[in-house]
Structure 1
Amino acid sequence: MSPIHDPISVAVISNRLTAITKEMGQIMLLTSRSPIFSESRDFVTAIFDAQGQLVAQTSYIPVLLGAVPFALKAIMNRFNMEDLHRGDVVIANDPYQGNSHLPDVTIARPVFYERRLTFWAVTKGHQADLGGSGVAGYNPLAKSVWEEGLRLPPVKVYANGEYQQDIWDLILLNVKSRDLVEGDLHCQIGATARGEEALIELLDRHGQVTAEEAIQSYLEATEKKMAAAINAIPDGYYSGERGLDNDGIEMDRQPTIRVDLTINGEKLTFDFSRSDPQTRGFVNSPFANTASVCFQSLFACIGATIPINAGSLRLISIVAPEGSIVHCRQPAPTTASTLLTCAAITDAIWIALSQAIPAQSQSGWGRRCAPMTAGFNPRTRRPFVCTHHNCKGGSGATEGFDGWSHTGPVSNMGGSRATDPEIFELAYPYTLLQYEFAPDTGGAGKWRGGMGAIIRWRVETSDVQCVTVGSGMLEATRAFGLLGAKPGSLPTMQVISADGTKRELRVNAFHTIHEGDTFEIVSQGGGGFGEPLERDPEQILRDVVDGVVSAKRAFAEYGVVIVGPEDDSTINVEATRSERARRNSAKTKTVTLVK
């Protein structure tokens, strides 16, 4: 089929497809039972053509999106064309059949037009519970995927529009939070139903042939844009590596991701052959998750104006040896791959890209370092599951821009909202005591890293389970700075009992929590970008006045002397000029001695 070249038709149809995915997303936001969807927006929506090519998407959580094509491929391999009918809805979550980790459930609906398969409407979202012995699906002691929860190969939950009672019974019997899971699965299914309806309306209006030709033109145009973006990166071989704090089982070993990035004209290859073998614990990444992280890491640096679809992904190659931490063999556990391993992969890629295109690269984001909790809420008399998205850190800075505050982790790229404080107290048996930005947490640089946050809440129930899931508590894993900048802050995570006793919480471990305990989390700041001594003193003064940076740190990190009371601070220009000259002179002498 030859693509059409009418740019207006291509633009109208491609934008309508994107709008449909946004409608699907709004349905999920408005009909979900769990704040994981309605508040944190931990899902994506997408449309694929009949061949399984991604044509449009809305990626609230980017790390989920790149894995969806692999999940749909597994579904299409499972069902022959004659096995698919209008009204079918397929569910899947198996990490070894195209998915990332068990909590992220894929729902796919084939869309037929004039008795022919034309599209797929797909959602992928983090369910509050899919069984297993962990909390919210996270079990750092799991040594196999079977210990993490219920594995679902591609199977129909609706067939010809008929509710498949036996499949639903099987799923819901194996989860602890039945109401949340059942409601949110129907939420995902309802979103695909609207997708189907809107796609048929599009085909009625424009015709199937015109729509398919417009999509082909759109994908080809996107491929050309990506080719130009890759071609603008200097040809070469660039490397980066980053580690994790532990895998939940071997607590003193830091698994390491190593990537070699090759640019050759319009071709780009991520090679992870030097990465560590898969681990015993839950930080292993299935290939689909690794690929998704590669896509989002690259787009964050070069693809801000490039649509994410099959066209823009064609020029990217990924080498990830099976049996490694970035392409694990079953039955390795994988639950932390989308949060923790994702961050290490992203860091390694950005460090590699910073050698080629420093002005487009980003410094490290504050990593996830927070609890997951679940139990019984006496206020609602229902089970609850909380993933604590409000413990977000700051993003890294980049050329020309400070980092965003309280927006991480990097897997979410700012797409996940912090739970509204009133919803937090309504949905969970907690009382929020403090919730504000944490000053002096962003890494110093010409462009400052984003701030982390301070959050404290008191537990109001005796029935609560807790597991910590995190990374970045080590010097080697904190948010890195680029081009002479400083790293972001180290996080802190502790529980204060009713008698005032404090307990530091180690990451990737189960913890005993009592009624009356208070959690206190200070999330990580993002890394800075560029030499701190090059930051405009006026920007530093604004940071001090706004409470982002203390006057003490303004001097220690930036050499800026701030004088006067907090509400009327000013810069001592002469003292600042003298201090910065002294530091630059000392730096020059150090460089000379090293030479």
Structure 2
Amino acid sequence: MQTPSNKPPVDPITLQVISGALYTIAEEMGHVLYRMSFSSIIRESQDIGAGLFDLDFNTMTESEGSPLHIGSIPGYLRGISKCLQGGSWNEGDVVIHNHPYYGASHSPDLCIVVPIFWRGKLVAYAANTAHHVDIGAATPGLIIDVPDVFAEGMLFAGIKLYEKGQRNEGLWQFISHNSRTAKQTKDDIDAQIASAQLGARRFQELLDSYGSETIFGASEQLMSYTESLMRARIREIPDGEYFAEGFLDDDGRNRDKRLPIKVCVRVTGDSVEVDLTGSADQVATAFNVPFEGSTKPACYCAFRAMLTDSALMDVKMPPNEGSFRPIKVTAPLGSIFNPIYPAAAEARFTQCNRMIDLIIRALSPVLPQRTTAGNSATLSFAAYSGLQKDGDYWVFLEVNEGAYGGRPCSDGPDSIDNLMANTRNNPIEDLGMHLPMICDRYELRDDVMPGAGQFRGGIGVVKTQRMLTDGFVTHESERHHDIPWGAFGGTEGAVGKVEIFDARGHVEPTYAKFSNLAVAAGGGMSYYAPCGGGYGDPLDRPAEKVAEDVLDEFCTPERARETYGVVLDADLQVDDPATRTLRAAMREQHKQSAALSSS
């Protein structure tokens, strides 16, 4: 817990004004970043984070970005403190950083940091991160099957892109010649710089208005307030150890080797520990997770999502460091969640999502009203690339949607981002205008059904992208084998799948993860996201809702009868008497089966 401050408390009205001002600065930083960027992964998907940070690297405020970006920036700053070029900050400096063994989330997420000086003294930092299209790795856009971190592309460790206001032209030229999408990369970096510099100016204006003592006193109070809210929520969980486990398909190279994930959530009073001991050892590909920059922020995200959902709170929780403080994360060195240098660690997202899903599962018995059934809990991150007529590369990064499991009071959302990504979809109109690709199909899956329950699981997306020129595809995904679980009597969801097709229409199933697969013009990839598990007994789902699902083709009449106990007539209307009779019989059968299994 934070040590009490000696600063006098800021009055409630001023505190609220400063809280709003800090949050507005972070939001403005985020808006400038994605509106000024050129690559679709930033401009459309908004795969970014931005915020203000004090000299102890505490998050003072954060934008509405990806939780993994926001929670990781303190790790970047701690890493920069160990390798900062020249060892000290100057006014006018701009640092670029992405080294996964110095706190970065993973190498494509470039962080830009601007020191904030006020009256000649360093007082804070404005920083942001954004996922870049290509940083010169072994394959365009994304990379999975590589031997070490050096194959991931350009690594920047505390490097000053600007020093005392002067740009390092040698470094700028170096970036020009080490990215397949150099212009986009540099333009997006410029957007990050503008965003961070704006944040610095706005914070200086805030200091001019209220003074240093009031602003930092208010920041400490706000962090303590957020911490107290988080601890109060943790105290609602009974003390104890809660376990869950699952597995990952493979590491992108060794296809028959499943990788275990084991989660122990240890609750003690108003603190919690996530212990990942027993999870897979680090692997020989880039399918590892940087501990400081990704593993820890993923755990923070899990508890913020479960415990501080604004729909379940009377007050809005200020977004700052306080939400992280009650949470400890343990992962053995040399494991997939805490790899040893120089192991590659670029393809680190699906493991984080699966770990969050298991935290939710572990706590379901004691937090039934704040958890879900099994979610898709993966990520479809695809990189399409090829050569233009002038010999330059085009590269397109796409984050595809998944689905959530059923929830305590509602069905799982269909075709929605996966747990902690918080990215937007890329409009297919934008795709067609800028790249030699066409989206042939973009809709809900109709080849499988989601988990049944009082609240059904969400339905995953299917997206088919066709390339108009010869090119390459790299894909990072998961969950072709480990089925999303059902909760409290709900049934399992459905796993995902990926298919590659050619111009003649020949279709071949493939693995969830593959690197730099050559695809001829007219061919492409179809991605089918997993569907969520069901929540609660299917026999408790209102018969009218089951009938609506049948009319929407989310459920067949046969499944309605066999799983939900709902009988429909020839016009697909509910036969009430027959339904009541069938459900009574099914409940009795379930009761007898439970009695036999317990004896």
TM tier relative to shorter chain:
over 0.9
For the 8 Å contact 1:455–1:520, the answer to whether it is kept is yes
For the 8 Å contact 1:376–1:384, the answer to whether it is kept is yes
Assess, with a 3 A threshold, how the Cα gap between structure 1 residues 550 and 376 changes in structure 2: closer, same or farther: farther
User: Which whole-Å CA distance do the structure 2 matches of 1:256 and 1:172 have between them?
Assistant: 41
Partner of 1:563: 569
Deviation sequence 1:47-75 (CA, Å, 0-9, x none): 11122111111242112222211111112
Matched AA of 1:385: V
Alpha-carbon deviation of 1:564?
Answer: 4.3
Matched AA of 2:578: A
User: Which whole-Å CA distance do the structure 1 matches of 2:198 and 2:146 have between them?
Assistant: 38
User: Which whole-Å CA distance do the structure 1 matches of 2:140 and 2:451 have between them?
Assistant: 32
1:541 correspondence with 2:538: no
Alpha-carbon deviation of 1:276?
Answer: 2.1
Partner of 2:48: 43
Partner of 1:466: 473
Deviates more, 1:302-311 or 1:344-353: 302-311
Alpha-carbon deviation of 1:46?
Answer: 1.3
For residue 441 of structure 2, give the secondary structure of its aligned residue in structure 1: strand
Alpha-carbon deviation of 1:530?
Answer: 1.6
Q: What is the number of equivalent residue pairs in this alignment?
A: 583
Partner of 1:582: 585
Partner of 1:118: 123
Alpha-carbon deviation of 1:192?
Answer: 0.5
User: Which whole-Å CA distance do the structure 2 matches of 1:385 and 1:234 have between them?
Assistant: 49
Assess, with a 3 A threshold, how the Cα gap between structure 1 residues 249 and 153 changes in structure 2: closer, same or farther: same
1:392 correspondence with 2:401: yes
Matched AA of 1:240: A
Partner of 2:427: 420
User: Which whole-Å CA distance do the structure 2 matches of 1:84 and 1:369 have between them?
Assistant: 39
Alpha-carbon deviation of 1:538?
Answer: 2.2
User: Which whole-Å CA distance do the structure 1 matches of 2:496 and 2:85 have between them?
Assistant: 50
Partner of 2:341: 330
Matched AA of 2:168: Q
Deviation sequence 1:500-553 (CA, Å, 0-9, x none): 211112122232211011433222222221222211222223333344334343
Partner of 1:343: 353
Q: 1:512 aligns with which of 514, 518, 521?
A: 518
User: Which whole-Å CA distance do the structure 2 matches of 1:161 and 1:38 have between them?
Assistant: 27
Assess, with a 3 A threshold, how the Cα gap between structure 1 residues 381 and 395 changes in structure 2: closer, same or farther: farther
Q: 1:203 aligns with which of 207, 211, 231?
A: 207
User: Which whole-Å CA distance do the structure 2 matches of 1:316 and 1:310 have between them?
Assistant: 11
For the 8 Å contact 1:397–1:526, the answer to whether it is kept is yes
1:169 correspondence with 2:173: yes
For the 8 Å contact 1:441–1:452, the answer to whether it is kept is no
Q: 1:450 aligns with which of 458, 469, 484?
A: 458
Query: What is the RMSD computed on CA atoms of the aligned residues?
Result: 1.9
Alpha-carbon deviation of 1:369?
Answer: 4.0
Q: 1:364 aligns with which of 371, 374, 387?
A: 374
Alpha-carbon deviation of 1:27?
Answer: 0.8
Deviation sequence 1:4-32 (CA, Å, 0-9, x none): 24111111111111111111111122111
Alpha-carbon deviation of 1:370?
Answer: 5.7
For the 8 Å contact 2:498–2:528, the answer to whether it is kept is yes
User: Which whole-Å CA distance do the structure 2 matches of 1:51 and 1:310 have between them?
Assistant: 11
Partner of 1:320: 331
Q: 2:437 aligns with which of 430, 436, 443?
A: 430
Structure 2 length normalisation: TM-score?
A: 0.93
What 5-or-longer segments of structure 1 have no aligned partner?
A: none
For residue 170 of structure 1, give the secondary structure of its aligned residue in structure 2: helix
Partner of 2:282: 278
Deviation sequence 1:184-209 (CA, Å, 0-9, x none): 11111111011112111211222222
| Aligned positions of 1:90-169 closer than 5 A | 90-138=95-143, 140-169=144-173
Deviates more, 1:547-556 or 1:27-36: 547-556
Deviation sequence 1:213-263 (CA, Å, 0-9, x none): 111111111111111111111111111112110001221111112121111
Alpha-carbon deviation of 1:125?
Answer: 0.9
1:554 correspondence with 2:560: yes
Matched AA of 1:259: V
Assess, with a 3 A threshold, how the Cα gap between structure 1 residues 408 and 204 changes in structure 2: closer, same or farther: same
Identity %: 28
For the 8 Å contact 2:495–2:530, the answer to whether it is kept is yes
What 5-or-longer segments of structure 2 have no aligned partner?
A: 1-5, 311-316
For the 8 Å contact 1:456–1:521, the answer to whether it is kept is yes
Partner of 1:407: 416
For the 8 Å contact 1:245–1:473, the answer to whether it is kept is yes
For the 8 Å contact 1:238–1:356, the answer to whether it is kept is no
Assess, with a 3 A threshold, how the Cα gap between structure 1 residues 65 and 242 changes in structure 2: closer, same or farther: farther
Alpha-carbon deviation of 1:399?
Answer: 0.9
Alpha-carbon deviation of 1:113?
Answer: 0.8
User: Which whole-Å CA distance do the structure 2 matches of 1:3 and 1:342 have between them?
Assistant: 40
Alpha-carbon deviation of 1:386?
Answer: 2.0
User: Which whole-Å CA distance do the structure 2 matches of 1:381 and 1:21 have between them?
Assistant: 39
User: Which whole-Å CA distance do the structure 2 matches of 1:490 and 1:400 have between them?
Assistant: 24
For the 8 Å contact 2:408–2:455, the answer to whether it is kept is yes
Partner of 1:84: 89
User: Which whole-Å CA distance do the structure 1 matches of 2:225 and 2:279 have between them?
Assistant: 35
For residue 336 of structure 1, give the secondary structure of its aligned residue in structure 2: coil
For residue 311 of structure 1, give the secondary structure of its aligned residue in structure 2: helix
For the 8 Å contact 2:84–2:157, the answer to whether it is kept is no
| Aligned positions of 1:14-25 closer than 5 A | 14-25=19-30
For the 8 Å contact 1:369–1:491, the answer to whether it is kept is no
User: Which whole-Å CA distance do the structure 2 matches of 1:493 and 1:428 have between them?
Assistant: 22
User: Which whole-Å CA distance do the structure 2 matches of 1:63 and 1:482 have between them?
Assistant: 27
Alpha-carbon deviation of 1:3?
Answer: 4.4
Partner of 1:269: 273
Structure 1 length normalisation: TM-score?
A: 0.94
User: Which whole-Å CA distance do the structure 2 matches of 1:260 and 1:591 have between them?
Assistant: 28
Deviation sequence 1:285-343 (CA, Å, 0-9, x none): 11121101100111111122433422221111112111111111011111121x21112
For residue 63 of structure 2, give the secondary structure of its aligned residue in structure 1: strand
User: Which whole-Å CA distance do the structure 1 matches of 2:91 and 2:75 have between them?
Assistant: 22
For the 8 Å contact 1:243–1:257, the answer to whether it is kept is yes
Alpha-carbon deviation of 1:161?
Answer: 1.2
User: Which whole-Å CA distance do the structure 2 matches of 1:3 and 1:537 have between them?
Assistant: 60
Q: 1:528 aligns with which of 534, 558, 561?
A: 534
